[in-house]
Amino acid sequence: MKKIILLMAALAAMSFAINPVFAASPAGFTSAEIKVNAQVGVSCREIQKGSFPSPLLIDTQTAAEQTFPNSADELVRCTSGTVFTVKVSSTNGTALDETCTSGGVGDMALQSSSWPSDVISYTFTCGGDTDGNGRFTGAGYSTNKALGIGIKIAAADAQAAVAHNDYSDTVTLTITY
Amino acid sequence: MKKLMAVLAAMAFVVVMAGGAWADVTGDVDINATVSGKCNAITANDLTLTIDPATASAVSSTGSATTVQCSKSKAFTVTAASAGAGGAEDNDGSLAGVLTGPGATIPYTLAYTSSFNGAGFGSAATPTTLLNANAATVAIVDANAAEEGTYSDTVTITVEY
């Protein structure tokens, strides 16, 4: 009788020890795989229109090239990692969709509205290009990308300029990606 | 002892006689049944996120819901795991997943049903939705910073019982 009681006690103890191990395991399961696909497109948006001091004060007596920084840089946002170029066209010059680089685009011209035959040639620059060849890299839509626009006027063109106070040009920038 | 046997025999006789004379014989039959908790195969549907990096709002997925049919009124738990995030199981109903693309990743959140009571089987029972079509979401900041390309993740949904 004593033996039987001991055996039962041992079995009871084993069941207490074993039960928690199996209780944690689920009796069964069903499972499936789901694909989550994503497509990220490419786009650019103008954040700030570029501008220059008005008027530009051109010194006709200096012997050096004159540079004119922007008063507000052209800011864009493009998809992160996207390489884009900026094409430049001049209303009064002959530049048409020329790639803007830190070296600049020639064929730009300031024209007098009162004397249309009087023009001043200049160079339009985009100092923000990534590699000097007019290639920019988008930094995502949380970060502005500055094109670093600027104007250069060669000493010879400044010295040859006829005095007027109504020179102007309209530059069209086109982002290509 | 012989006397005791004689008394018992007499009692038995009386009982049998009385039963036949006064009442029908009745009895209970116990019928025990067990309904096992189980689920059918999950009806899984892929989700698609179309991300415009210029978006000013979070991007939600499109597609169809993922559903399952399980034993009525039984409690079930659900886990989800994103391969792109390392495959660790999540059970709180909001999985932090990672979409992997060519050289870049995009974090996203997947909302899912973490526990439910089964609605039963058959055409009359409404399947339980584990994932809605718009379950996957990419936050604005992550969409804005996303690089161009095609991304994907594989999520494993498991219903345990």
Task: Indicate whether B14 belongs to any domain.
Answer: no
Residue in A35, A40, A82 nearest the CB of B51: A40
Residues B41, B127: Cα–Cα separation, whole Å: 11
- A32 interfacial to chain B (CB closer than 8 Å): yes
Q: Can you name the residues that pair with B158 across neighbouring β-strands? A: A31, B79
pLDDT tens digits for range A9-45: 444 444 434 433 334 456 789 999 999 999 999 999 9
pLDDT tens digits for range A90-149: 999 999 999 999 999 999 999 999 999 999 999 999 999 877 889 999 999 989 999 999
> What is the per-residue pLDDT for A26?
65
Mutation target among A30, A33, A78 for the B interface, most CBs of B within 10 A: A30
Domain A44-176, CATH number (from 3.30.160, 1.10.10, 3.40.50, 2.60.40): 2.60.40
ipTM of the complex model: 0.80
Residue in A34, A37, A142 nearest the CB of B141: A142
Task: Indicate whether B17 belongs to any domain.
Answer: no
Q: Which residue has the higher pLDDT, B26 or A12?
A: B26
- Give the residue from A58, A88, A103 showing the smallest Cα distance to A170: A88
B53 and A35 in contact by Cβ < 8 A? no
Task: Indicate whether B103 belongs to any domain.
Answer: yes
Whether the per-residue pLDDT at A52 is higher than 50: the answer is: yes
A38 and B160 in contact by Cβ < 8 A? no
Task: Indicate whether B4 belongs to any domain.
Answer: no
Residues of A in contact with B62 (CB under 8 A): none
Residues of A in contact with B100 (CB under 8 A): none
Task: Indicate whether B56 belongs to any domain.
Answer: yes
Task: Indicate whether B19 belongs to any domain.
Answer: no
**Would you state the structure tokens that stand for residue A2, as one six-digit string?**
């004593």
Domain count, chain B: 1
* Cα separations in angstroms, B159 against A25, A26, A28: 13, 10, 9
> What is the per-residue pLDDT for B93?
97
Residue in B41, B42, B54 nearest the CB of A43: B54
- Give the residue from A75, A173, A174, A161 showing the smallest Cα distance to A122: A161
Residues of B in contact with A32 (CB under 8 A): 41-44, 66, 156-157
pLDDT tens digits for range B130-148: 999 999 999 999 999 999 9
Residues of the domain holding B137: 47-160
Instruction: Count the residues in chain B.
Output: 161
- B81 interfacial to chain A (CB closer than 8 Å): no
Please give the residue of chain A at the shortest CA–CA distance from B103.
Answer: A81
Whether the per-residue pLDDT at B8 is higher than 70: the answer is: no
> How much is the average pLDDT of A63-79?
96
pTM: 0.73
**Would you state the structure tokens that stand for residue A115, as one six-digit string?**
């004397």
Question: Among residues 26-55 of chain B, which lie with CB inside 8 Å of chain A?
Answer: 36-55
Residues B146, A142: Cα–Cα separation, whole Å: 10
Phi-psi region of A27 (alpha: psi -120 to 50; beta: other; left: phi over 0): alpha
Task: Indicate whether B28 belongs to any domain.
Answer: no
Residues of A in contact with B50 (CB under 8 A): 38-39, 41
> What is the per-residue pLDDT for A48?
96
> How much is the average pLDDT of A167-176?
95
pLDDT tens digits for range B45-67: 999 999 999 999 999 999 999 99
> How much is the average pLDDT of B21-32?
82
Return the half-sphere exposure (C-beta side, CA atoms, 13 A cut-off) of residue B120: 5
Task: Indicate whether B114 belongs to any domain.
Answer: yes
Residue in A39, A81, A82 nearest the CB of B150: A39
> What is the per-residue pLDDT for A3?
52
Q: Give residue for tokens 């930094």.
A: A139
Residues B105, B153: Cα–Cα separation, whole Å: 10
| Beta-sheet pairing, A105-112 with A98-99 | unpaired
**Would you state the structure tokens that stand for residue B79, as one six-digit string?**
């886990």
Whether the per-residue pLDDT at A89 is higher than 50: the answer is: yes
* Cα separations in angstroms, A130 against A113, A152, B131: 36, 20, 44
Mutation target among A40, A76, A77 for the B interface, most CBs of B within 10 A: A40
